[in-house]
Amino acid sequence: MFDIKSVAVIGFGCAGFSAARAVRQADPKRVIDIYSDTDEAPYNPMLTTYYVSGKINENTMFPLGDLETIKKELRINILCSTPVKRLRARERVLELDGGAERQYDDIVIATGAGAVIPPIKNLPERGIYTMRTASDARRLERALDGGVKSAVVVGAQMVGIKVVELLVKRGIRTLLCDMEKQMFPVSAYERTAAVIAARLEGKGVEVRLGAAITGVCDVGDCLRASFSDGSAARADLIVFCSGIRPNLAFIDRGELDVGVGIKTDLHMRANVPHIYAAGDCCETLNVLTGENAYIGLWANSAMQGRVAGSNIAGIPDSYQGSLIHNITHYMDTDFISVGDIKADGERVFWRSRGGGWQLEATISDGKIAALNILDNAHVAGPVKNALLHRAAHPEQPISVHARLLLSGSGVPDGIIKKLGGEGA
Amino acid sequence: MRMIFDLDMDKCVACGACAIACMDQNDTAPETDETPFRRVGTLEPSIGGGRFSWLSISCMHCADAPCIPACPVCCLSKDERGLTVYDNTLCIGCRSCAMACPYGAPTYRADGKMEKCSGCTDRIKYGYEPACVRVCPTGALLCLTEEKYKQIKPSASLRDASAI
């Protein structure tokens, strides 16, 4: 008699889907149970702002297909609206609502991350929004369709900027605020951030930096937000885009090793046997530092899920690690950030002849450790891959095509060499 | 039957014929700020090291193309010949493919939609070579079946030089 093994996947976003698919591709018989706290197909959080802006329809937020199709194609059990209350990792047991317990051979934690609202007392019940889930997107869209004249966006980062863009497109008077003193505080240098802020102001957005939101009250016809710098603002609604946090309330931190997310090795294994983690709830290798880091991105989630699923199914696979990188396009601006901008080192700045695009970088030990690029998406990939390449092969120069693309864009030899160009 | 694109860097003289043929084939209009899919250039060695290089670069139709999983709306895919093709109907212009591509291949139209070299998939379908390969006077650009490519793989392969 065959012993049919079972796997539980907790959470059903990109990582959970990719893990389930990898298990099924390698093992046609294994029982795969998905635990989801919603009744929706996997959605891409990045697409929520594009949906509200009208660039895509609702279905496009779910790029992996609808639940029924996924269920049929992968032959998996999807337990909708069935959150896991507690995970006893060493026993590989899930505790569910009503006291039910289920044990599995292997478990993948793929619960993603949720939007964080700063701790503000007595937040009003109306007019407060976040932007992370498909449901958040529908809710904001309904509000905007109802007629909104003014808005405050809290958090001058990647999500906040896209929310600002869609509000401005609708002709809504918008205030963007952040407790930090600059735009993109975790991914932009001060000088680049100042250019970004000035451009936004030029497009009619009020930018209030160094101003943490400290209170919100309902004043009848609108909301009144107050800030740490003593200022205040009135708006019809407030959208909190102030960051995300891994959804890990159900795990026992005495069992699982957790930093920002669950710490994993390159096989996506947690510190407890048969427990894996993937996607926006885990940490894994940052190739530039050699240490674990929290780098939540859709493509990373897909690869990490695939690696976890393959290994569970007995097909050895490993994740190559990643580096911190972001690209965003909004209001005629391309902003690219690669590496850790907080790294120590000398700062260099270069602007193309004619001012079409610019680059700012940190040089550590004679090499570029991180950089910002404004308005040249074409070099983003070659530059990111040059840094990945250098991390894997420190002694080899960067590829000839990366050099050509940079050189053809006018970047001086000195900067190309510090990226790892020939002769460096 | 998988097709492989490559450039023999020992044969390329960066004459630009491939870039012109590509613009003609794809009706690219650089004068209206459209970005050509193929770029040509030379790299001069710095004092004390390096070699002079001539290059022609566009999409290399990578076997494990990183642009495909990077696209949040699944615009990119592989066709039956292994060429990386696209349907930009759903493209949101987010630039995720640009961040993923080591070759800087994705370009963006004025309306924000991505376009790139599709390997002249329609020409290949009807038995023609891609436009850039067709006009290359030195035979530096190659688009061959996997079997044929293995037989005559260039020693100065851009694919090898770019292996990351």
Q: Give percent of chain B above pLDDT 70.
A: 95
A191-207 pLDDT tens trace: 999 999 999 999 999 99
Q: Give percent of chain B above pLDDT 90.
A: 72
Tell me how far apart the alpha carbons of residues A319 and A303 are, in angstroms, rounded to a whole number.
Answer: 7
**Interchain CB distance below 8 Å, B94 and A417:** no
| C-beta of residue B104 within 8 angstroms of C-beta of residue A405 | yes
Window from A320-334, B43-57, B118-132 with minimum mean pLDDT:
B43-57
pLDDT at B47: 55
The crossing angle, in degrees rounded to 10, of helices A380-392 and A400-408 is 140
Tell me how far apart the alpha carbons of residues B77 and A268 are, in angstroms, rounded to a whole number.
Answer: 26
Shared-domain flag, residues A178 and A223: yes
**What is the pLDDT averaged over residues A246-257?**
96
CA distance B79 to chain A (A): 19
A-contacting residues in B 35-64 (Cβ below 8 Å): 35, 39, 41, 43, 45-46, 48-50, 53, 55, 57
> Looking at the domain assignment, is residue A191 inside a domain?
yes
Task: Please report residues of B whose CB lies closer than 8 A to that of A388.
Answer: 164
Sign of torsion over alpha carbons A380, A385, A386, A391: positive
Confirm or reject contact between B108 and chain A (CB < 8 A): yes
Amino acid symbol at A188: A
Shared-domain flag, residues A164 and A221: yes
The strand pairing partners of A283, in sequence order, are A263
Q: What is the CA radius of gyration of chain B?
A: 16
| C-beta of residue A281 within 8 angstroms of C-beta of residue A110 | yes
Beta-carbon count within 10 A of A28 CB: 8
Shared-domain flag, residues A11 and A105: yes
Report in angstroms the alpha-carbon separations of A118 from A212, A240, A313, A374.
9, 8, 41, 30
Task: State the number of CA atoms in the 13 A half-sphere of A123 facing the CB.
Answer: 15
A86-143 pLDDT tens trace: 999 999 999 999 999 999 999 999 999 999 999 999 999 999 999 999 999 999 999 9
Shared-domain flag, residues A107 and A251: yes
Shared-domain flag, residues A76 and A163: no
Amino acid symbol at A372: N
> Looking at the domain assignment, is residue A322 inside a domain?
no
> Looking at the domain assignment, is residue A65 inside a domain?
yes
Q: Six-digit token pair at B97?
A: 């493919």
Beta-carbon count within 10 A of A413 CB: 18
> Looking at the domain assignment, is residue A334 inside a domain?
no
Q: Coil, strand, or helix at residue A249?
A: coil
Among residues A184, A208, A242, the one where a domain terminates is A242
Shared-domain flag, residues A252 and A216: no
Q: How many domains does chain A have?
A: 3
CA distance A348 to chain B (A): 21
> Looking at the domain assignment, is residue A327 inside a domain?
no
Query: B122 Cβ partners below 8 Å, 6+ apart?
Result: none
CATH of domain B3-161: 3.30.70.20
Among residues A294, A312, A330, the one where a domain terminates is A312
Shared-domain flag, residues A142 and A202: yes
Report in angstroms the alpha-carbon separations of A388 from A92, A137, A385, A396, B59.
36, 34, 5, 12, 19
Among residues A202, A219, A242, the one where a domain terminates is A242
Tell me how far apart the alpha carbons of residues A389 and A1 are, in angstroms, rounded to a whole number.
Answer: 49
Shared-domain flag, residues A266 and A408: no
> What are the backbone dihedrals phi and psi of residue A194, each rounded to the nearest 5 degrees, phi first?
-65, -40
Shared-domain flag, residues A142 and A211: yes
pLDDT at A181: 96
Q: Six-digit token pair at A310?
A: 């393959």
Task: Please report residues of B whose CB lies closer than 8 A to that of A408.
Answer: 39, 41
The strand pairing partners of A108, in sequence order, are A9, A276
A61-88 pLDDT tens trace: 999 999 999 999 999 999 999 999 999 9
Burial of A141 (0-12, 13-18, 19+ CB in 10 A): middle
pLDDT at B45: 72
**Interchain CB distance below 8 Å, B161 and A299:** no
DSSP H helices in A377-424: 380-392, 400-408, 413-419
Q: How confident is the model at residue A265 (pLDDT cuts 50, 70, 90)?
A: very high
Shared-domain flag, residues A25 and A94: yes
Shared-domain flag, residues A213 and A300: no
What's the pTM value of the predicted model, to 2 decimals? 0.92
Please determine, for residue A422, whether its predicted confidence score (pLDDT) is greater than 70: no
State the DSSP code for B27. T
Q: How confident is the model at residue A423 (pLDDT cuts 50, 70, 90)?
A: very low
Structural domain for A391, as ranges: 343-419
Mean pLDDT of chain A: 94
**What is the pLDDT averaged over residues A146-172?**
96
pLDDT at B163: 52
Shared-domain flag, residues A92 and A147: no
Residue (of B130, B110, B109) closest to B21 by Cα position? B130
Please determine, for residue A424, whether its predicted confidence score (pLDDT) is greater than 80: no
pLDDT at B127: 92
**Interchain CB distance below 8 Å, B158 and A405:** no
